């Protein structure tokens, strides 16, 4: 007992005296808790490599973006989370608006270009993904593809396309649409979507449905396709990707964020993890691993198989302007949730 008390006091003292200089100290025995909405395999690869390098233990809690975001807001100052990582930025905005993030140091923020982090400096982008229309190449030719994601609301697309409306990914795409086209147009589009589309749970399941011919296309993110192609292509053999481009809402490039909670008792270790993920170690895993998400840090290269980000012609959006609450509200109203 005395030993562990001493250790605890020591850890507290170290924590108090050495914010921002984590490398020199011994890691705290309890490590950090990461509320992880990113793909588990990716964050696991990050955290295992990070633990190996620094000795800091990482415990992951799994959940969806907005689920964990709202959870952190409810937990408030008592949140057990030290770090929050999402697949998309709206949930980061949610937590930031509640004033629950601790500011990141300039050295950490400077790792990524300004377009991938909010002006507040409370979180930063650590990866990115592009919206795509994954389609059945045996049924659709290039000339029959929708020009814009907005076209999918037209009656001719009735019953022909799929999406995963309960997922944060699709909700982020709707968030981009809301920011670009306004509430009325988005609401109309969602209402039309309710009659036109088929709901699947999860992007990979939606892609599999395209592959088996249940639907002709699906609005998903790009890396599900590349990941499956790299494995057995069992769920994407008949699938090709269509990029909407032209700054279309459907060309939206979504930023995955990471931030340190203001309530964290291990802020130094938490920021060390965020910095590691945005740094060379974390970004290299994006390039070489099987996640196929885009690397976003300055000077970091993405997997060469991917279409380079500038060629995606995504709409210019401030990631901190995407409103998750308005999106779930509109989707609930349209009967999608």
Question: Of 145 and 205, which CB lies nearer to other proteins in the complex structure?
Answer: 205
Candidate list 25, 54, 97, 166; residue touching other proteins; CB under 8 A: 166
Tell me the C-alpha to C-alpha distance, in Å, between residue 174 and each of 122, 179, 236, 252: 24, 9, 25, 10
Check binding of 129 to other proteins (CB under 8 A): no
Give the Cα separation of 110 and 118 in Å (integer).
12
Sign of CA dihedral 16, 17, 20, 24: negative
* Contacting range for other proteins; rule: CB under 8 A; set: 112-120, 192-200, 245-253, 311-319: 192-200
Per-residue interface string for the shown chain with other proteins, residues 269-308, x marking contact by CB under 8 A: ----------------------------------------
* Site size with other proteins, rule: CB under 8 A: 46
Check binding of 130 to other proteins (CB under 8 A): no
Candidate list 1, 5, 78, 119; residue touching other proteins; CB under 8 A: 78
Q: Least distance from C-beta 1 to other proteins, angstroms?
A: 21
* Contacting range for other proteins; rule: CB under 8 A; set: 11-19, 21-29, 104-112, 198-206: 198-206
Per-residue interface string for the shown chain with other proteins, residues 220-259, x marking contact by CB under 8 A: ---------------x------------------------
Q: How many CB atoms lie within 10 A of CB 183?
A: 12
Question: Of 62 and 245, which CB lies nearer to other proteins in the complex structure?
Answer: 62
Q: Least distance from C-beta 46 to other proteins, angstroms?
A: 16
Question: Of 168 and 297, which CB lies nearer to other proteins in the complex structure?
Answer: 168
Q: What is the 3-state secondary structure (H, E, C) of the chain?
A: CHHHHHHHHHHHHHHHHCCCCCCCCCCCCCCEEEEECCCHHHHHHHHHHHHHHHCCCEEEEECCHHHHHHHHHHHHHHCCCCEEECCCCHHHHHHHHCCCEECCCHHHHCCCCHHHCCCCCCEEEEEEEEEEEEEECCCCCHHHCCCCHHHHHCHHHCCCEEECCCCHHHHHHHHHHHHHHHHHHHHHHHHHHHHHEEECCCHHHHHHHHHCCCCCEEEEECHHHHHHHHCCCCCCCCEEEECCCCCCHHHCEEEEEEEEECCCCCHHHHHHHHHHHHCHHHHHHHHHCCCCCECCCCCCCCCCCCCCHHHHCCCCCCHHHCCHHHHHHHHHHCCCC
Check binding of 201 to other proteins (CB under 8 A): yes
Question: Of 165 and 315, which CB lies nearer to other proteins in the complex structure?
Answer: 165
Question: Of 80 and 289, which CB lies nearer to other proteins in the complex structure?
Answer: 80
Binding to other proteins in span 25-54, by CB under 8 A: 33, 39-41
Check binding of 219 to other proteins (CB under 8 A): no
Candidate list 110, 151, 214, 284; residue touching other proteins; CB under 8 A: 214
* Contacting range for other proteins; rule: CB under 8 A; set: 20-28, 73-81, 149-157, 262-270: 73-81
Residues that bind other proteins (CB under 8 A): 33, 39-41, 59-64, 66-71, 73-75, 78, 80, 165-168, 171, 198-202, 204-205, 208-209, 212, 214, 235, 325, 328, 331-333, 335-337
């Amino acid at each position: 007992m005395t030993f562990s008390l001493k250790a605890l006091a020591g850890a507290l003292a170290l924590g108090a005296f050495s914010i921002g200089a984590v490398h020199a100290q011994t890691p705290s025995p309890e490590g950090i808790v990461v509320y992880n909405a990113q793909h588990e395999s990716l964050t696991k690869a990050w955290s295992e490599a990070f633990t190996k390098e620094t000795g800091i233990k990482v415990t992951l809690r799994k959940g969806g973006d907005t689920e964990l975001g709202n959870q952190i807001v409810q937990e408030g100052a008592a949140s057990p989370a030290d770090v929050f990582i999402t697949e998309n930025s709206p949930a980061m905005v949610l937590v930031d608006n509640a004033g629950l993030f601790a500011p990141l140091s300039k050295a950490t923020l400077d790792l990524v270009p300004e377009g991938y982090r909010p002006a507040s400096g409370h979180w930063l982008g650590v990866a990115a993904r592009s919206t795509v229309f994954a389609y059945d190449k045996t049924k659709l030719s290039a000339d029959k593809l929708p020009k814009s994601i907005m076209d999918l609301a037209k009656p001719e697309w009735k019953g022909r396309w799929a999406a995963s409306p309960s997922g944060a990914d699709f909700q982020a795409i709707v968030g981009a649409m809301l920011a670009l086209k306004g509430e009325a147009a988005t609401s109309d589009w969602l209402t039309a979507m309710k009659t036109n589309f088929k709901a699947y749970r999860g992007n990979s399941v939606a892609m599999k449905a395209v592959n088996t011919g249940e639907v002709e296309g699906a609005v998903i993110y790009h890396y599900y396709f590349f990941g499956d192609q790299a494995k057995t292509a069992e769920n994407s053999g008949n699938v090709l990707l269509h990029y909407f481009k032209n700054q279309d809402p459907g060309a939206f490039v979504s930023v995955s964020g990471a931030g340190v909670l203001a309530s964290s008792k291990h802020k130094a270790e938490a920021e060390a993890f965020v910095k590691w993920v945005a740094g060379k170690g974390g970004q290299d895993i994006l390039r070489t691993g099987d996640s196929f998400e885009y690397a976003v840090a300055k000077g970091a290269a993405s997997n060469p198989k991917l279409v380079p980000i500038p060629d995606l012609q995504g709409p210019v959006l401030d990631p901190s302007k995407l409103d998750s609450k308005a999106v779930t509200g509109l989707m609930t109203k349209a009967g999608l949730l």
